[in-house]
Structure 1
Amino acid sequence: MDLKTANALRRLRLISAPEAVSFLLLLVCSVLKRTTDFNAVPVMGMIHGVLFLLYVLFWALAWRGARWPLGRGALFFVLSVLPTGGFFAERMLRRESEESVVAARAAAEQAVGA
């Protein structure tokens, strides 16, 4: 995996959890708006919108760079529109990045030993 792809995956992983938290907070604000006089939906909506756009941008870059099959790319997109999906995406991306680091180290050790 090249550095550009690794960075795209890292950015997607780093934005996944904040995007999920903002989605949950937006849902809470929506409930509070309808049950109380508290209305933070415009602010939280803007924050979540920006984080969602960043997620989609980083998702597209990661999909293109990692050359995921259609199913895997679609999975990460679907996770972005589920309220807690970003947490699952972050966990999956962390595991994938750890596996790629292990593979890169093994390849480097083989190159040195050969």
Structure 2
Amino acid sequence: MNILKSPLGRLRILSLVEALSYLTLLFIAMPMKYIWGQPEMVRVVGMAHGVLFCIFCLVLLQAWIAAEWKIKVPTLIFIASLIPFAPILVERWLKKEEAKFDQLETA
């Protein structure tokens, strides 16, 4: 199955891309601004991260509706998106959930 066809698959991919943009902002762009005085990278990466974060929130809402989660799961996923490296753990969990979701869809 194509990973982008499933709401949970899209959430998995987008959460990792958004996490990568967040890590780039924190560990590359911010030091360039505050240590080396080059704020241009923060503008570019910050804008990309902001757009990706907004899309992530929409995809999270879509997955929430499709998977029929209670409020706890999307809240924890959202909080994890704010913590560096936490989306890696969420992606592993989502991969298992996606397998369950796919089995329910095909049954």
- Is the shorter-chain TM-score for this pair beyond 0.5, marking a shared fold? yes
Q: Which amino acid aligns with 2:97?
A: E
How many residues are paired up? 101
Unaligned ranges ≥5, structure 2: none
Unaligned ranges ≥5, structure 1: 1-5, 108-114
Q: Give me the TM-score of the superposition, normalised by structure 2.
A: 0.82
Q: Give me the TM-score of the superposition, normalised by structure 1.
A: 0.78
Equivalent positions of 1:42-81 (< 5 A) are 42-81=43-82
Q: Which amino acid aligns with 1:78?
A: I
Between the aligned residues of both structures, percent identity stands at: 35
Is 2:67–2:101's contact at 8 Å kept on the other side of the alignment?
Answer: no
Is 1:13–1:94's contact at 8 Å kept on the other side of the alignment?
Answer: yes
What is the distance in 1 between the residues matched to 2:54 and 2:89? Answer: 18
Corresponding position of 2:21: 22
Corresponding position of 1:88: 89
What is the distance in 2 between the residues matched to 1:68 and 1:18? Answer: 23
Give the root-mean-square deviation of aligned CA atoms: 1.8
What's the CA shift for 1:104?
Answer: 5.5
What is the distance in 1 between the residues matched to 2:104 and 2:63? Answer: 19
